[in-house]
């Protein structure tokens, strides 16, 4: 009987410790999941703002710089404005495909782009987005708006792993026609 009490007490202590450790880990994992989700949303918002805002003075300097310094300045611009928010693999492809400046180069020099609203809808760590984009003609200062829709995928760390646009071609054609 004494042995049964000893084993019972030992089992009770071990079970209590396991329960305490399990609850602590669950709380920590829940907090890190929330933090990752928040950083994913913030990263998506920031990248979309960088993609659709400009061209400003910094962009004008980049676009008009000579061939010798342009590559170095573009690399620095990409590192500062996009690398912190993206996975390494996506960053490389994004930069190589000119995803960072595609819209701003198309707008330059006739238009200035400014997001009026960036709406994000979270779905399992990924974000559907709608950017209400104002584009102002720099000659007559007439401003029009268009919605650009797409989806941004993120990883567990909250970094962007892809951006896919649904109607970007329509917007780029709109800029070409005017």
Q: Where are the domains of the chain?
A: 2-177
**Residue 67's pLDDT band (cuts 50, 70, 90):** confident
Q: Which residue has the higher pLDDT, 18 or 62?
A: 62
Q: How many other CB atoms are found less than 10 A from the CB of residue 111?
A: 22
Q: How many other CB atoms are found less than 10 A from the CB of residue 17?
A: 10
Q: Which residue has the higher pLDDT, 23 or 75?
A: 75
Measured distance CA(114)–CA(54) in Å, rounded: 7
Measured distance CA(74)–CA(65) in Å, rounded: 10
In this structure, are residues 165 and 103 in contact, taking their beta carbons and an 8 Å threshold? Answer: no
* pLDDT (mean) for 141-145: 96
**Residue 34's pLDDT band (cuts 50, 70, 90):** low
Measured distance CA(54)–CA(76) in Å, rounded: 17
Predicted structure pTM score = 0.79
Measured distance CA(32)–CA(27) in Å, rounded: 9
Mark residue 98 as left, alpha or beta (left: phi above 0; alpha: psi -120 to 50; beta: remaining): left
Token duo for residue 74: 């573009």
At residue 22, the pLDDT reads 55
Q: Is the pLDDT of residue 48 over 80?
A: yes
Q: Is the pLDDT of residue 31 over 90?
A: no
Q: Which residue has the higher pLDDT, 7 or 136?
A: 136
* pLDDT (mean) for 94-103: 95
Instruction: Kindly report which listed range (86-95, 131-140, 169-178) carries the lowest average pLDDT score.
Output: 169-178
Provide the CATH number for the domain formed by 2-177 in this structure.
3.10.450
């Amino acid at each position: 009987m004494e042995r049964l009490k000893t084993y019972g007490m030992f089992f009770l202590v071990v079970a209590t410790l396991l329960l305490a450790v399990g609850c602590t880990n669950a709380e920590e994992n829940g907090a890190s999941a929330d933090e990752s989700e928040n950083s994913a949303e913030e990263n998506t918002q920031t990248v979309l703002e960088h993609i659709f805002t400009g061209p400003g003075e910094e962009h004008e300097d980049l676009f008009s710089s000579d061939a010798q310094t342009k590559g170095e300045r573009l690399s620095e611009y990409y590192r500062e404005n996009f690398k912190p928010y993206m996975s390494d693999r996506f960053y490389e492809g994004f930069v190589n495909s000119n995803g960072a400046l595609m819209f701003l180069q198309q707008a330059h020099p006739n238009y200035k782009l400014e997001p009026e609203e960036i709406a994000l809808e979270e779905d399992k760590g990924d974000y559907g987005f709608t950017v209400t984009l104002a584009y102002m003609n720099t000659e007559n200062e007439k401003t029009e708006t268009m919605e650009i829709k797409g989806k941004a995928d993120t990883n567990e760390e909250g970094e962007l792993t892809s951006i896919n646009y649904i109607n970007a071609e329509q917007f780029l054609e709109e800029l070409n026609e005017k």
